[in-house]
Each structure stands twice: as structure tokens, then as C-alpha cells.
Structure 1
Amino acid sequence: MKNTKRITDKDIEQLLGSVLRWGVLLSMVVVIWGGTVYLYRHGHDVSDYATFKTQPNFTIQLKAIIGGIFDLRGRAIIQFGIILLIATPIARVLLSAISFAAEKDYLYVGIAVIVLSVITISMLGGFGG
């Protein structure tokens, strides 16, 4: 006898819910860790509001953010946590598309791909507002 388990809609819903839940929790832990590091290093600094200071380079580019994490820079760690938070629903849409493809529900695969395309174009093109 072959022992095969069929993946049900409920299994997929639980997987998608877990992705959202764990993604948000992980990003929250990373942001709290970064905030703690930042406050430990810069909590005593006095702000100078007379001079405008732009965002540091190590919080803009992904390569620099990862380097800043290894250097234990609080703002880079916080920025990485925000990236994780943004990536969580994107991962959910991607997993939805994969699950719809496994179920051969091509209408919803197309909708998920359109949603992913809009998100990607908005992020890379700077059309998000």
C-alpha cells in the first residue's frame, strides 16, 4: 500500500498564516534588537536639529545594510527588520501562486503573478508614492 498524503486547502491556509505570523514576529525581534543596539550606542547623544542630516549610506543599499548588521550598527539592523516586514506579504503572495499552480487553478495563479508584478514594479520603479 502506498501511503500518500494529499495537501488540502486547510494545510495551505495554515502555511500561509504561519508565513505571515513568523515573518512579522521575526521582523519585530530584529527591529527590537536593532533598537536596543542603537540606544546602547547612541542613547546619550544630543540631537542637533539646526543641521539637517541625511540618512546614512549604510541604511540605503542592501549590501551596506548587511555589512552594517555584521558591524552591529543599530540603524542597519532596524532597516533589515523593516525589509523583513515588507518581504513577509510578498512571500505570502509568492507561496499563494505556487499553491494555486499545484492545484491547477490558473486563474488565481495569473492574479497572484499580476499582484507580484505590481509590487515588483512599484518597489523597483519608485512608483509607490
Structure 2
Amino acid sequence: MNTPHKTKGIADRDIELLVGRLLRSGVITASCIVLIGGIYLLLQNGSSAMPSYHHFGGENASYTTFQGILSSAWHLNAKGIVQLGIVVLIATPVLRIALSLFGFALEKDWLYVIITTIVLAVMLLSTIGGLKI
């Protein structure tokens, strides 16, 4: 019996399911990391006095660079753990675009490969360009 559609190694539906799982697991992982960091932050500073918000003081490099965030989280600093969760949340859609690029390349859909490459490049440049390296 002939089927009207081609048989492929990886079908469109497989890529869609994989992308869906990636997005779901990325958001859940990021949420769990932020929740753990937030609880730890409350345990450390929950009973301290209310800070004065009359003067804004920016964060130091340990919370504004990728290396600083990883180091801070590795040393179990609560703010570093929360920041790591935010980095995971930001990385999730970037990984989704990279996975879509891989899927389009497998399907040999070159127009979408070009478009997705441009989108991925813009995302990476805007994300990395905003970091203090």
C-alpha cells in the first residue's frame, strides 16, 4: 500500500515534540533554580532590616557577567543561584532556535535554514553584546 507522504528519518512532528520538550524542561528547570535561590535568599536575609531604596547601587561583576554568575552560584550564593536561573530561562529560547535550525537542516529546507541562522545570529549578538565581558 502506497502512502502519500515521504518517509524521513526524523519527521516534522518529531522535531516539534523535541522543541516542545526543550521549552517545557527549560522553563521548569529555570523556575526550580530560581525558586531554590529565592528560598535560600529568604532564609539568609529574611529577618534583616528593610534596605533603604533612596539611593540606587548597582550590582558588582559577580552578578552581571556570565563567569561571575557561575562562580557565585557555584559558591552557593543565593543571589548567584537566582541569576543562574534567569540565565537558564534566557538560554531556553536560544536553544529552541538552535534546535529548529538543526531540524530544518535535517529536512534540507534551506530557506528556513538561512532565516533561522539569521534569527539565531541576531539573538546571540544581542544577548552576548549586552554582557560585561
Normalised TM-score (structure 2): 0.85
| Aligned residues with identical type, % of pairs | 40
What secondary structure is seen at the aligned counterpart in 2 of 1:54?
coil
Deviations 1:66-110 (A, max 9, x none): 111122111111111011001001000000001100110000000
Aligned pair partner of 1:87 in 72, 76, 91: 91
Aligned pair partner of 1:22 in 20, 25, 43: 25
Contact 2:101 2:113 in 1 (8 A): yes
Contact 2:94 2:124 in 1 (8 A): no
Aligned pair partner of 2:109 in 105, 108, 124: 105
Residues of 1 paired with 2:129 and 2:61: CA distance?
20
Aligned pair partner of 1:64 in 65, 68, 74: 68
What secondary structure is seen at the aligned counterpart in 2 of 1:49?
coil
Residues of 1 paired with 2:83 and 2:39: CA distance?
13
- Structure 2: state its 5+ residue gaps: 1-7
Q: Could you tell me which residue of structure 1 aligns to residue 44 of structure 2?
A: 41
Contact 1:97 1:112 in 2 (8 A): yes
Q: Could you tell me which residue of structure 2 aligns to residue 54 of structure 1?
A: 58
Residues of 1 paired with 2:123 and 2:95: CA distance?
11
Instruction: Tell me how many residue pairs correspond in the alignment.
Output: 122
- Structure 1: state its 5+ residue gaps: none
Shift of 1:7: 1.5
Alignment of 1:3-22 (within 5 A): 6-22=9-25
Q: Could you tell me which residue of structure 2 aligns to residue 116 of structure 1?
A: 120
Aligned pair partner of 2:77 in 73, 79, 85: 73
Q: In angstroms, what is the RMSD of aligned CA positions?
A: 1.4
Q: Could you tell me which residue of structure 1 aligns to residue 129 of structure 2?
A: 125
Normalised TM-score (structure 1): 0.88
